[in-house]
Amino acid sequence: MSAAALHDLGVAELAAALRERKVSSVEAAQHFLARAKAHQNLGAYVALNEDATLAQARAADARISAGTAGALEGVPLAHKDIFVTRHFPSTAGSKMLAGYQSPFDATVVTKLAEAGAVTLGKLNCDEFAMGSANENSAISPVRNPWDTDRIPGGSSGGSACAVAARLAPAVTGTDTGGSIRQPASFCGITGIKPTYGRASRYGMIAFASSLDQAGPMARSASDCALLLSAMCGPDPDRDSTSLDVPAEDFSAKLNDSLDGLRIGIPAEFFGEGLSADVRAAVDAALKEYEKLGARLVPITLPRTELSIPVYYIIAPAEASSNLSRFDGVKFGHRAKDYTDLVDMYKKTRAEGFGDEVKRRIMIGTYVLSHGYYDAYYLQAQKIRRMIADDFQNAFQHCDLIAGPVAPTVAWKLGEHGSDPLADYLADIFTLPASLAGLPGMSVPAGFGEGNMPVGLQLIGNYFQESRLLNAAHRFQQATDFHLRRPEGF
């Protein structure tokens, strides 16, 4: 097989080529490592370890020869730098963890390795996963391969960029308020956030514990199904929020008919603020679903607008608690010059954290403080429950929900630099499902202004990942948006 053709293969195709010995895992790993080095200007990768990657690839080739290959045997993948890894630095995109090397792997990393995947490296992300543009990384911003003057989305921007630019066949990401779905939309790839608790959070550097969830990002729904099948499963000994739901083969129902599928269309997702180009692409995608046998059903999610203030109270509150561990005592950055313990804390955190992380820590500390907890945090949790109830009321009338992922296509680098609220408002369509803990995904659905990708968001009820993936797969069989690539890659 021609080396040049390797990055044209999806996960399933590459896995088949490896099993059939058309290419070795070592050759595949070397090919993608070379591409990662050749496109460093994108800022997607933050750490490579060629020796560790090739050692894993040689072990995979040996298992293939012995006939003991796993479902992803020899397939090279890359991990968002929010997952800790033994053989690669784990920094969460922050100076606070510069050079940190974990003594263990995150459960998601371990599960994918058990399925045979080979780790290519670590991918850039907004610092501690806080951002919607991947401009908050302390290492470097990430550029969108469709237009390198634009952002790729965040916080899993490095992950989305790597798949879109063919620097990896698939990757891991995390979604707290939309950080898989939004960058997948902006970069024209497929990404899915499973039901909260489906994938273990053990070894994920925490941002907001009641919201953080791991998920796969790839070119197609069928490839995401393969990865998600390996990633999910209970982890009761290491993650108390892990659900006691057995692992599932998410590929099993990919070709089910969509005849009679009821797709809910929330009025709140199509109002003021949605750009005309995104709306046109989403409307065209919904018409394609009607051709495939689905039926569009009008629904309402009345508390959609409240998701922004609710999220930006709950998430910073949890972040302020989770990030209190970074004090310079046990691990991570420590200020060089200080007079006493309190001064060391102050200087360490001032030097180690970026502006957005500091902003969210201060907001979170404020809403949890005496006199404000009941007025802000407690009220936000009550409305969060109501948002979840809105979805359950809607699912009485439909099987899944569809709409835009974001109000616009990817914006220019630095465009929102002096207005963090503009980034927050861009999360309006992804936050409700995150607050409710529901599975959601982004599917390439066309192009908007500047020929930039537009994603269609699909949201399912709890544990309905198979239904989402089936709906996405059937759409991708009828369209070619997921196969298109940015020029030059």
pLDDT tens digits, one per residue of 256-313 = 999 999 999 999 999 989 999 999 999 999 999 999 999 999 999 999 999 999 999 9
Asked whether residue 100 is domain-assigned, the answer is: yes
Which positions ≥6 away from 165 have C-beta within 8 Å? 35, 39, 42, 44, 145, 486, 489
Rounded to whole angstroms, how far apart are CA atoms 363 and 460?
31
Q: Which residues of 152-184 are buried (b: 16+ CB within 10 A; e: fewer)?
A: bbbbbbbbbbbbbbbbbbbbbbbbbbbbbbbbb
Q: Which residues of 318-328 are buried (b: 16+ CB within 10 A; e: fewer)?
A: bbbbbbeebbb
Asked whether residue 446 is domain-assigned, the answer is: no
Do the beta carbons of residue 486 and residue 452 sit within 8 Å?
Answer: no
Asked whether residue 8 is domain-assigned, the answer is: yes
Residue in the structure block whose two tokens are 């263990």: 104
Half-sphere exposure of 12 (CA within 13 A, CB side): 11
Residue 158 tokens, joined:
């490095």
List pLDDT tens digits, range 6-34.
999 999 999 999 999 999 999 999 999 99
Asked whether residue 306 is domain-assigned, the answer is: no
Residue in the structure block whose two tokens are 């099987």: 399
Q: At what angle do helices 11-19 and 25-38 cross, to 10 degrees?
A: 140
Residues that are catalytic: 80, 155, 179
142: domain range? 3-258
Asked whether residue 475 is domain-assigned, the answer is: no
CATH of the domain at 110: 3.90.1300.10
Residue 287 tokens, joined:
């018409």
The count of structural domains within the chain is 1
Query: C-alpha 38: how far from its chain's center?
Result: 24
Asked whether residue 418 is domain-assigned, the answer is: no
Asked whether residue 316 is domain-assigned, the answer is: no
Asked whether residue 360 is domain-assigned, the answer is: no
pLDDT tens for the 489 residues of the chain, in order: 665 589 999 999 999 999 999 999 999 999 999 999 999 999 999 999 999 999 999 999 999 999 998 999 999 999 999 999 999 999 999 999 998 999 999 999 999 999 999 999 999 999 999 999 999 999 999 999 999 999 999 999 999 999 999 999 999 999 999 999 999 999 999 999 999 999 999 999 999 999 999 999 999 999 999 999 999 999 999 999 999 999 899 999 999 999 999 999 999 999 989 999 999 999 999 999 999 999 999 999 999 999 999 999 999 999 999 999 999 998 899 999 999 999 999 999 999 999 999 999 999 999 999 889 999 999 999 999 999 999 999 999 999 999 999 999 999 999 987 788 888 889 999 999 999 999 999 999 999 999 999 999 999 999 999 999 999 999 999 999 999 999 999
User: Is 257 exposed, middle or buried, given 0-12, 13-18 or 19+ CB atoms closer than 10 A?
Assistant: exposed
Do the beta carbons of residue 44 and residue 161 sit within 8 Å?
Answer: yes
